[in-house]
Amino acid sequence: MSESKPIRVLLVDDHAVVRSGLAGFLLAFDDLKLVGEAASGEEAVSLCRQVQPDVVLMDLMLPGMDGAEATRAIRERCPDIKVIVLTSFQEEELVQRALQAGAISYLLKNVSVDELAEAIRAAVAGQPTLAPEATRALIHATTKSPGAEIDLTPREQEVLALMVQGLSNPAIAERLVLSRSTVKFHVSSILLKLSVSSRTEAVAFALQHHLVG
């Protein structure tokens, strides 16, 4: 990108203080320009069509449409827009979901401002940037034995058991004292690990393979 045309950046995070901090970070670089802020996945998808950013900094934990779903929607509608996931979570299933959805980069929120600026510039050039933790997660995911792919965490086993009982995400959230977005992530992780595409298939798989007591 030339100096006369700064890189247009859209911020997506449901925490106003995080968006404020990122907005301040962008002001420090002449070649980066803030063109919009979104607090939800749906808002991000809508804003992308309106302001046409070059790069989206996308959180994963969002109310409603989560970051991975928003990334997929943005990439389908606006394939020229690059999405950088900027999150606090490094679990391998989240890394996989984000990259499968079309994110070019996966960074953790402990990244330095200079590293984030370089990642934004690299994304525009089509070059991915992965946090070391994300890289390790991907390597671990590709070297697991086939049987290990359906190993669920204790929390995922709890969520799956409640899914088998027919509880909805809000009901599961209330039962386990979790946020709805956290439950949604656990459900998405379960679907990924079981290689199924719906809750119904997950329940059938769990019953068939005796994954829940």
Q: DSSP secondary structure string, the chain?
A: --TTSPEEEEEE-S-HHHHHHHHHHHHT-TTEEEEEEESSHHHHHHHHHHH--SEEEE-S--SSS-HHHHHHHHHHH-TT-EEEEEES---HHHHHHHHHHT-SEEEETT--HHHHHHHHHHHHTT---B-HHHHHHHHHHHHS-GGGGGPPPHHHHHHHHHHHTT--HHHHHHHHT--HHHHHHHHHHHHHHHT-SSHHHHHHHHHHTT---
- The type of residue at 181 is S
Whole-structure pTM value? 0.68
Q: List CB contacts of 82: < 8 A, sequence separation 6 or more.
A: 54, 55, 56, 104, 105, 123, 124, 126
Contact 66, 60 (CB under 8 A): yes
Locate 86 and state its tokens.
């900027």
Residue 51 has pLDDT above 50, yes or no: yes
Cross-strand bridge partners of residue 36: 10
pLDDT tens for residues 89-128?
877 778 888 988 999 999 999 999 999 999 999 999 999 9
Contact 29, 55 (CB under 8 A): no
Q: What is the pLDDT of residue 128?
A: 92
Residue 200 has pLDDT above 70, yes or no: yes
Locate 181 and state its tokens.
């977005």
Which domains are assigned to the chain? 7-140 (3.40.50.2300), 146-208 (1.10.10.10)
Q: How many residues does the chain have?
A: 213
pLDDT tens for residues 130-169?
988 888 777 666 655 444 457 788 899 999 999 999 899 9
- The type of residue at 124 is V
